[in-house]
Amino acid sequence: MELHFVFLALGALLLVGLVADEVGRRTRLPRVTLLILFGVAAGPSGFDVLPRAFLDWNEFLVSAALTMVAFLLGGSLSHKALSMHGNGIILISVSVVVLTLFCVAGGLMILGTPVIMALLLAGIATATAPASTLDVINQTQAKGPFTEVLQGVVAVDDAWGLIAFSLLLVAAKAVAGDGGLAIVTKGLWELGGALVVGTMVGLPAAYLTGRLKPGEPIQVEALAIVFLCAGLAIWLEISFLLVGMVAGAAVANLAKHHNRPFHEIEHIEWPFMILFFVLAGASLHIDSLKTIGLVGIAYVVLRSLARVLGGWIGATLSEAPALHRRWIGVALTPQAGIALGMALVAANHFPDQGEALLAITVGTTIIFEIAGPILTQQALRQVGEARK
């Protein structure tokens, strides 16, 4: 491919991001949904006009964009935020994950789904979409206690989801008569390794950044932290989401000399997110919707109900306002690429279930990835914290 075409396509996609932002302002549609739909139209499921070079960059863009998102979400886990909302964040996140596991697994088994398939789909159902959720918050300029709790829940959700998925993968192996020790070890390594690596990057970053330009890190420092987190996580085969979150939380809590420690990340994040969401849409195969069948439809309904009910229970236990109880679960509906990653892992362990599992996960992810941000935006509006 000629170099000029790559630059022209790159410029065009960034302009598409500006258009999506403006259309989102005028129509109240999340720009995430608009960018994903554009990616579907421009990708193999549509007119197939995206340069192949972009699809080759997918892994880099996904890792960079999601590490930035995780770093920003880690910043929401400051001591101040946790002292105000920590109880709600923990209760809601645990309630949502537990209800999702029981509702999806139990409901699918009642409908006659094989036990192994039901367990694997229940584990996958715990995955969320931190990038989509955070972008909807940014687009609507939402601020307030509901938004702060939502950010905290999304930040820790992936840790609970990783633990839950690993345990259900072991349970599925036990049902199949195989040992699950290797899976438990891998899950512990992902979680523990992420905590260690995130701390190793976050501690020096908290004390060393923001010295050259007093008050906040410069752009080079911000990019260096993100790329170090992503690179180490990929190299060590641990979750770059958890690494970025831990590093961000370390900076938020320990960098006392910073005025706005995440300002530069916020500045450089959006171009990466545009390309990330467009490529996410391009990677979705709409034909998968035809193959989800009754199990896929039941998965969508059961997961949605579990998010709403789990959010209501957790918010009630934490004595959140009645309006927050009704809408926190709705705001946690989005699901994206993390679910696909879990499905690929599960398919490797259960090759005979792999084709059906991937078809259901891809098909339902399309639904949640497009409709989820709309529901999150609606929740932020209903609680009165969306500014735009």
What confidence tens digit (pLDDT) does each residue in 309-362 have? 999 999 999 999 999 999 999 999 998 778 877 888 888 888 888 778 888 888
From the CB of residue 47, how many other CB atoms can be counted at a distance below 10 Å? 9
Predicted pLDDT at 202:
92
Place of tokens 């899976």: 183
Give me the pLDDT at residue 263, please. Answer: 67
Determine contact, residues 9/54, Cβ cutoff 8 Å.
Answer: yes
Say if residue 142's pLDDT is above 70: yes
Between the CA atoms of 284, 287, 292 and 293, what dihedral angle is there, to the nearest 10 degrees? 160
| Domains of the chain with CATH codes | 57-136+153-382 (1.20.1530.20)
Q: What's the rounded mean pLDDT across residues 140-154? A: 93
The model's pTM: 0.85
What is the pLDDT, as a whole number, of residue 137? Answer: 93
d(CA 65, CA 241): 10
The pLDDT of residue 90: 93
pLDDT, tens digit (0-9, with 9 covering 90-100), for 280-306: 788 777 777 777 788 999 999 999 999
pLDDT above 90 covers a percentage of the chain that reads 35
- What contacts 289, CB < 8 A, 6 or more positions away? 363, 366, 367
Produce one character per residue of 324-353: b if its CB has 16 or more CB atoms within 10 Å, e if not: bbbbbbbbbbbbbbbbbbbbebbbebbeeb
Are 311 and 92 in contact, with CB atoms under 8 Å apart? yes
